[in-house]
Amino acid sequence: EPRPTVVPCRPLPARICDVVRSDRPRSCCGMAMAGYRTAKYQLPEWHRRNAGVYCSATAASEEAERGRAEAKHLTKYAAASAQRAQEYSKSTLGQRLGDVNFWRMELQKEIMELDNETNLLAAQKLRLERALDATEVPYAVVIDNLECRERRQPPDLVIDEVERQLLQEADLIRDIRDLLKRTIIQATTQIRSNRIQKENCELDWSDKVETCHIDEKCISYCPDSTNIQSHPSSLKFEENASTPKSWAEFSHDSISRAEQEKLASVQLRSLINNIIRDASEDLRMQRAAANQAFDSHCRQLDEAKLRLEQHLEQILKDIGEEEANIVKLKKAIRDKEAFLKVAQTRLYDRSFRPNVELCRDEPQFRLVSEVEQLTVFLEALKRKLIESEQNLKNLEETRMKLEKEIAVKANSIFIDRQKCMSNRIRYPVDLEVASYK
Cβ-based neighbour number of residue 157 at 10 Å: 14
Question: What per-residue confidence (pLDDT) applies to 272?
Answer: 93
- Would residue 231 count as lying in a domain? no
Q: Is residue 429 part of a domain?
A: yes
Total domains in the chain come to 1
Buried b (16+ CB within 10 A) or exposed e, 179-212: ebeebbebbeebbebbeebbebbbebbebbeebe
Q: How far apart are CA 325 and CA 318, in angstroms?
A: 10
Distance of CA 241 to the CA centre of its chain: 40
Residue 381 in domain: yes
- The pLDDT score that the predictor gives to residue 428 is 63
In tens, the pLDDT along 192-233 reads 999 999 999 999 899 889 888 888 888 887 777 777 676 666
- Closest by Cα among 25, 171, 152 to 416: 152
pLDDT number for residue 5: 52
In a domain, 322, yes or no: yes
Closest CA to 202 of 101, 117, 107: 107
Classify residue 248: in a domain, yes or no. no
Q: What is the mean pLDDT of residues 239-250?
A: 80
Give me the chain's average pLDDT, please. 82
Q: 419 near 152, Cβ under 8 Å?
A: no
Q: How far is CA 104 from the centre of its chain?
A: 39
Model confidence at 40, in pLDDT bands (50, 70, 90)?
confident
pLDDT tens for 413-432 read: 898 888 888 888 776 657 77
- Considering the chain, what percentage of its residues have pLDDT values greater than 90? 23
Greatest Cα-to-Cα distance within the chain, rounded to the nearest angstrom: 199
Closest listed residue to residue 144, CA positions, set 428, 431, 426, 423: 423
CA 58 to chain centre: 89
How far is Cα 383 from Cα 332, in angstroms, rounded to an integer? 13
List strand residue ranges (DSSP E) for 37-157, in order: none
Amino acid at site 84? R
What pLDDT does 3 receive? 57
What local confidence, expressed as pLDDT, does residue 419 receive? 86
d(CA 207, CA 100): 10
Nearest of 139, 162, 254, 140 to residue 206 by alpha carbon: 254
Instruction: Report d(CA 346, CA 337) in Å as an integer.
Output: 14
Residue 28: band (very low, low, confident or very high) from pLDDT cuts 50, 70, 90: very low
Classify the phi-psi angles of 155: left when phi > 0, otherwise alpha if psi is within -120 to 50, otherwise beta. alpha
CA distance 136 to 388: 60
Residue 31 pLDDT exceeds 50: no
- Residue 309 placed within a domain: yes
**Is there a contact between 39 and 24 (Cβ–Cβ < 8 Å)?**
no
pLDDT given at position 184:
94
Per-residue pLDDT at 392 exceeds 80: yes
| Domain interval for residue 336 | 304-352+359-436
- Say how far apart CA 149 and CA 408 lie, in whole Å: 12
- Identity of the amino acid at 198: K
Determine, yes or no, domain membership for 167: no
Is residue 19 predicted with pLDDT exceeding 80? no
In a domain, 377, yes or no: yes
Q: How far apart are CA 141 and CA 137, in angstroms?
A: 6
Whole-structure pTM value: 0.63
**Residues across the chain:** 437
